[in-house]
Amino acid sequence: MATEAETPELYAGYLTESFHHFLKLSDLKESQLQFYDNVLPAEFKRIGAGQSQVDVLGVGSGGGENDARILTLLQSTLPDVSISVDIVEPSSDLRGEFKELLSNTEHLQKIPFAWHNMTAEDYIKEVNGKEDLKRFDFIHLVQVLYHVDDVSETIKFFHSLLKENGKLLIVQCKADSGWDILWRTYKQERRNSIRPNYINSGDVVSHLKSLGLKFEENPIPATCDITHCFKEDDEMGELMLYFMTEQEHFHKSLTPELRAEILDHLRNKCSIEKDGKIMFNSDSCGIIVHA
């Protein structure tokens, strides 16, 4: 297992703070949780049929809110089935948030957790070196595939870890969403991004088809109020712009021309105006892949 010093901090400090500000002004979290509520119980019934234990792998689980909802649904859907969980998360800040969430959620304290303090790619390297691979009934990669070099091989690997009736959940930004438009337009400016391999849900679907895998797509509509981004000397706007563009001190670090161009793009290409607010299109897609 990678040590704390060896593991890269993808979400730490200022970036973690900016990420939380984005979530506060977005309905993405609520939309994603609603998607879990509507879709996952039926999948869990199929996965858990005739089983005494269900094994779950969360990859890039962050602060654990997605996992908490998924595991809560799993417990309520399969009350007589024991659950074990493996978590792959490189950020010590976010792992700390996850563990605090668990400590405040009594029903999840009954579940044993194994923590892998590493990236998805390091986990693949570590697991590939073992003779006896642990397999899982449910694996989820929520907004994770931006951080891997080879998307197709990553999907193929985690799919290979599924048990016979297992499911792989991939959540990715939707094609033609605000994220898709922004990141594809300014690909060159994002060449040093912590999310270097930008792909949308359409790209994921193309990989799944080329791998010959069966799947279903589920839309997850969402918006974020980015009005603060267009206010001068607005601290929250600066934080949100950092999360969205990864340009620290956005208003100072870019040329006036590029700054104005990106802000215009955000306002007129990636968002709509509603009730006097600039609402960024943050749509995602939840893709259920079958074993």
Over the stretch 142-196, which tens digit does the pLDDT of each residue have?
Answer: 999 988 889 999 999 999 999 999 999 999 999 999 999 998 898 776 555 555 5
- Whether 79 is covered by a domain: the verdict is yes
Of 80, 72, 84, 81, residue with least CA distance to 41: 72
pLDDT tens profile 95-118:
999 999 999 999 999 999 999 999
In a domain, 62, yes or no: yes
How many residues in total does the chain contain? 291
Per DSSP, helices labelled H in 104-150 are 120-128
Bridge-based pairing state of the strands 284-290 and 162-173? antiparallel
Total of domains in the chain: 1
209 within some domain:
yes
Question: What residues make up the domain containing 40?
Answer: 13-20+28-177+194-223+283-290
Q: Is residue 135 part of a domain?
A: yes
Q: Is residue 274 part of a domain?
A: no
Task: Please state the rounded mean pLDDT for residues 215-235.
Answer: 93
CATH number at residue 57: 3.40.50.150
Query: What percent of the chain lies above the pLDDT cut of 70?
Result: 91
pTM of the model: 0.88
Q: What is the pLDDT of residue 4?
A: 38
Domain-embedded: residue 273:
no
Examine residue 253 and state whether it is found in any structural domain, yes or no.
Answer: no
pLDDT tens track for 32-76 = 999 999 999 999 999 999 999 999 999 999 899 999 999 999 999
Q: In what order do the strands lie in the sheet with 113-116?
A: 113-116, 82-88, 53-59, 136-142, 162-173, 284-290, 215-220
Whether 245 is in a domain gets the answer no
